[in-house]
Amino acid sequence: MEPSSAPPCRMCVPRLGLLLAVSLLTAWIPTTVAQLTVEPVPPDAAEGMDVLLLVYNLPENSPVYLWYKGETADPNRLIATYVTSLGNTAPGPAYSARDRILSNGSLLIQNVTLEDTGNYTIQAMNILYVPSEASAQFRVYPKLPEPHITSNQSQPVEGEDSVAFTCEPEIQNITYLWWIHGQRLPETTDRLQLSPDNRTLTVLSVTRNDTGPYECGVSNPGNTARSDPFSMNVSYGPDAPTISPPDLYYCSGANLSLFCHAVSDPPAQYSWLVNGRLQQATQELLVPNVSVNNSGSYTCHVNNSITGLNRITVENITVFGPVAQPAIRVINTTVLERDRLVLTCLTDDAGISIRWIFNSQSLNLTARTRLSPGNSTLNIYPVMKVDEGEYQCEAFHLNCSSKSDPLWMTVKDNPEPESSDLLPGAIAGIVIGVVAGVALIAVLAYFLYCSKTGRASDQRHLTEYKPSASNHSQGRSDSSPEKVDEVTYSSLIFNAQQPKQPTPASLSPRATETVYSEVKRK
């Protein structure tokens, strides 16, 4: 800028003034940068609540603040003046006993009314008595009463009725809300419908699962009120009844006790029919000491007087006649240790099943026990001391049974043979050796004979070699093939016996011995 060409100094003064103002302004900025503001808490209130108008960024050491109703600092609508140094409130024309200015500048309005809705303005002086202003507004909404639910049908029937729930009372300009099982009602489904104002909820074609509870709510921005839970009393059923126990077969002499149950609300009425004839109108049917005559169809009939529905379940029950008592046949009730014990169960009933009982418990099968097909013969070999005790056989058909009288079997000691007993064994060994030698010679002779004659009677060999272990008494005419036959037979027996005797090793030689002596006897 050129001073020579500078205009008259008249212009310099405002310029200086502007400069001063700018510098003053910049000096002010740090204190005014934080704007005075008011925040209503809550901005939407219900009648009777307290509202706090919170003030932020009051001027430092502000000596006085004034609260006005309205958007401006209108002296006619002054609520109160607060003098910091005195800590007291001087009421204005718009003052109410519910208004209280706090030391930090905030205004507390207690127990607000609908008329309190509107704007509020604070005017706060700084230390130089330069005022600053801020406004805020809040709304007060009517306090909502607790709503309640009414239903247009007190006892709807499942699958038949639709029910309309209405939330009372009716209030303008509020929102109605619904909860089922405590869950906010989502969008309406095909069975749940809301009226346009949401005040009426309709449940179409109710089911037993629609009993609720239901709750309704009324809401405005200031508050929400929720009704007490409301449950619907849906009548349903009866469903098909169940009969317990489900057994269809009984033994004569048993007590028949049939219990019927059907899901139903209100509870079903029960009655029993036997072979189509009304027996009694009870839930439980008792027929003591049944006989074959009591076989037949047992029908449980259920009825619901409200739904008017009837259902039945039929059970065809068969009563079996008494099972004849079986008997045990035995040759001798005393057996020697290591001998064979054979018991036979005798029963007149055809097609009946048999099981064995030892010392009042189900007989344990061991490797020494063998049962005939159908279980009628019990065979224990070799008998041991532990086999002594009480035997019973039981004839049974499904769950009907009859036990034989108990039979006590004694197992007598049979001391293990001493070392002198080896002698018969040795003799047997020698005999076997001799027999085997003779047999070998016979076989050789036979083969020689066969090769000489030049024809092999394979077919005959096959038949004779066939292991007919059980066919002891089969007669034989040929003298030379018989010996062969005997040797083969004895070895077959031996092989057959050996795996079936997983008894202590000491017993094996004796078993073999017996077999060989049998062969010898032949």
Ligand X SMILES: *[C@@H]1O[C@H](CO)[C@@H](O)[C@H](O)[C@H]1NC(C)=O
If 0-12 CB within 10 Å is exposed, 13-18 middle and 19+ buried, where does residue 437 land?
A: exposed
Q: Which of 76, 207, 457, 517 is close enough to bind ligand X by CB under 6 A?
A: 207
With contacts defined by CB under 6 A, name the span among 51-59, 132-140, 335-343, 386-394 that binds ligand X: 51-59
Peptide bond into 245 cis (omega under 30): yes
Q: By C-beta, is 200 or 271 nearer to ligand X?
A: 200
Q: Is 175 in the site for ligand X (CB under 6 A)?
A: yes
Kind of pairing, strands 407-412 and 334-336?
parallel
Contact status, residue 41 vs residue 52, Cβ threshold 8 Å: yes
Closest distance of CB 217 from ligand X, Å = 11
Mark the segment that binds ligand X (CB under 6 A) among 222-230, 286-294, 334-342, 461-469: 286-294
CB of residue 332 to ligand X, shortest distance in Å: 37
Q: Give the per-residue contact string, 221-260, with ligand X (x = CB under 6 A; - = no).
A: --------------------------------xxx-----
CB of 289 to ligand X, least distance (A): 4
Q: Check residue 32 for interaction with ligand X (CB under 6 A).
A: no
> Closer to ligand X at the Cβ: 213 or 389?
213
Neighbours of 22 (CB within 10 A): 10
Q: Which residue from 48, 93, 118, 245 is in contact with ligand X, where contact means CB under 6 A? A: 48
Torsion of CA 173, 175, 176, 182, to 10 degrees: -160
Count residues contacting ligand X (CB under 6 A)? 32
- Exactly one of 198, 344, 375, 488 binds ligand X (CB under 6 A); that residue is 198
Residue 113 found at the interface with ligand X (CB under 6 A): yes
Angle, in degrees to the nearest 10, between helices 508-521 and 422-453: 50
For CA atoms 157, 162, 167, 171, give the dihedral sign: negative
Cα 408 from chain centroid? Answer: 50
H or E, element range at 436: helix 422-453
Least distance in angstroms from the C-beta of 512 to ligand X: 54
Q: Which of 357, 281, 352 has its CA nearest to residue 321?
A: 352
279 is an interface residue for ligand X by CB under 6 A: no
249, β-bridge pairs: 318
SS3 at position 388 = coil
- Of 47-55, 237-245, 271-279, 426-434, the window that binds ligand X (rule: CB under 6 A) is 47-55
Rounded to a whole number of angstroms, the minimum distance from the CB of residue 14 to ligand X is 42
Give the one residue of 32, 56, 327, 494 binding ligand X; rule: CB under 6 A. 56
- Phi/psi at 72 (nearest 5 deg)? -130, 165
Q: Does 104 bind ligand X (CB under 6 A)?
A: yes
Q: Binding ligand X by CB under 6 A: which of 209, 420, 477, 479?
A: 209
- CB 175 to ligand X: min, Å: 5
263 makes contact with ligand X (CB under 6 A): no
Per-residue buried b or exposed e for 195-211, using 16+ beta carbons within 10 Å of the residue's own CB: eeebbbbbbeebeeebe
How many C-alpha atoms does 333 have within 13 Å on its Cβ side? 8
Which residues within the stretch 155-174 sit at the binding site for ligand X (CB under 6 A)?
162-164, 172-173
Question: Which stretch, 195-203, 425-433, 492-500, 504-512, contacts ligand X (CB under 6 A)?
Answer: 195-203
CA distance 5 to 1: 8
Q: 482: which DSSP letter?
A: H
Distance between CA 130 and CA 390 in Å, rounded? 120
User: Which parts of 39-182 fold into alpha helices (H)?
Assistant: none
What SS3 class is residue 25? helix
What mask of x and - would describe binding to ligand X in positions 123 to 152, judged by CB under 6 A?
A: -----------------------------x
Q: Rule CB under 6 A: say whether 274 interacts with ligand X.
A: no
The nearest distance, CB 307 to ligand X, in angstroms, is 13
CB atoms within 10 A of CB 299: 23
- Residue among 88 and 207 whose Cβ is closer to ligand X: 207
Measured from the CB atom, the residue of 207 and 325 that comes closer to ligand X is 207
Q: Under the rule (CB under 6 A), what is the footprint of ligand X?
A: 48, 54-56, 102, 104, 106, 111, 113, 152-153, 162-164, 172-173, 175, 185, 194, 197-198, 202, 207-209, 253-255, 288-289, 291, 293
